[in-house]
Structure 1
Amino acid sequence: MLVRLEAIGKRFGRDWVFRNLSFRLEKGEVVALLGPNGSGKTTLLRLMAGLLKPTRGRVVREGQALFLPNPPAFHRHLTAREHLLYDLAFHGREGDWREALRRFRLPEDLPLAAFSSGMRKRLALARLHLLRPDLWLLDEPETALDREGRDLLTALLGEARQEAGVVLATHDRGLALAVADRALELEGA
């Protein structure tokens, strides 16, 4: 078990995002979170990552989780190489950052201020590829990706299945059908 939600509820002020939600993710599973804007997909990912606390219930997480927000957050003045080297050092990992830049077709020395949103998303995928967390929490990972980027994402999710668990929030039902073992439909409270 990588993450378990036990009858959780989350409220902001007087408004409940969801109530009494239970969920379990095992290694090797890919689960898609579906639902309209405001249904709680991002909130649920943040709860699983430990970035938010539930109003009710309990979140139990094992292993290392990595949350990929939409849009991904980076330092604009750093290059892709500098970002990947920093991430590897910060997490105490080793990895072939050059291979990651090649695979995700990213320039080595261009500052992120010059990157398109699709290039930033590719860098976020390269980060996942290098760090290989146990639990991947992805918020609309397909957004801003072109066809080649989506193919890279699909391949990466297939690889993740071998050693991790993935929860991804998406509006793209085609992506969900292509990569997910199951889907959790959120409607809000």
Structure 2
Amino acid sequence: MLLRLQALSKRFGRDWVIRDLSFTLERGEVVALLGPNGSGKTTLLRLMAGLLKPTRGRVERGGRPLFLANPPAFHRHLTAGEHLRYDLLFHGFHGQEGDWRGALARFGLPENLPLAAFSSGMRKRLALARLSLLKPDIWLLDEPETALDGEGRGLLLEVLAEARGQGGVVLATHDRALAEGVADRTLELGAA
């Protein structure tokens, strides 16, 4: 078991966003979260990552999670190379700093261009490069396909296949075709 939710609930003020949700993510599994805007997909990912505290219930993690926000957050004055080098050091990958150049090349990203000059699609590619480099056990992806062109979507599918082999994936998406193409099961969330 990589992730277990037990009667998980989250309320903001008087509004319940998630109510009594239970499920388990196993190693090698991809679960897609589907639902309209406001249905709690992003909130659920943040709960799984430990970025939010549940109102009730529990989240148990059997591995190291990493959350990809939509849109991904980066320091605009840093370059892609600087971001990946700092990420490796921050996450304790000492001695593997050389891997970041290969990740930039794989995802078609320039090393020394500040992120302020990146398009939305380039920032999403950098987020995917970061995930592929850090190799978490639990991949929590919020609309990973947004802003990607055809080549970027191909890279996303490669990353999802790698993620399945390294751990497990929960991805929130509006793209039913993507969910049905990559997920072992889907979890439909209703409007709040």
C-alpha distance in 2 between matches for 1:108 and 1:178: 32
Partner residue of 2:5? 5
Q: In structure 1, list runs of 5 or more residues that go unmatched.
A: none
* Worse-superposed segment, 19-28 or 89-98: 89-98
Q: Which amino acid aligns with 1:134?
A: D
C-alpha distance in 1 between matches for 2:8 and 2:64: 21
Partner residue of 1:87? 87
Q: Give the drift of 1:62.
A: 1.9
Q: Give the drift of 1:188.
A: 3.8
Partner residue of 2:44? 44
Q: Which of 126, 150, 166 is the matching residue for 1:147?
A: 150
Partner residue of 2:133? 130
Using the aligned pairs only, state the percent identity. Answer: 78
What secondary structure does 1:162 align onto? helix
Q: Give the drift of 1:177.
A: 1.1
Q: Which of 176, 180, 183 is the matching residue for 2:179?
A: 176
Q: Which of 117, 135, 142 is the matching residue for 1:114?
A: 117
Equivalenced residues, count:
189
C-alpha distance in 2 between matches for 1:166 and 1:148: 21
What secondary structure does 2:174 align onto? coil
* Worse-superposed segment, 19-28 or 86-95: 86-95
What secondary structure does 2:31 align onto? strand
User: Does the Cα contact within 8 Å between 2:37 and 2:191 map onto a contact in 1?
Assistant: no
C-alpha distance in 2 between matches for 1:159 and 1:9: 31
Q: Give the drift of 1:133.
A: 0.3
Name the TM-score, length of structure 2 as normaliser.
0.97
User: Does the Cα contact within 8 Å between 1:4 and 1:23 map onto a contact in 2?
Assistant: yes
What secondary structure does 1:51 align onto? coil
User: Does the Cα contact within 8 Å between 1:18 and 1:188 map onto a contact in 2?
Assistant: no
What secondary structure does 1:73 align onto? coil
2:159 pairs with 1:156: yes
CA RMSD of the aligned region, Å?
Answer: 0.8
Q: In structure 2, list runs of 5 or more residues that go unmatched.
A: none
Q: Give the drift of 1:178.
A: 1.1
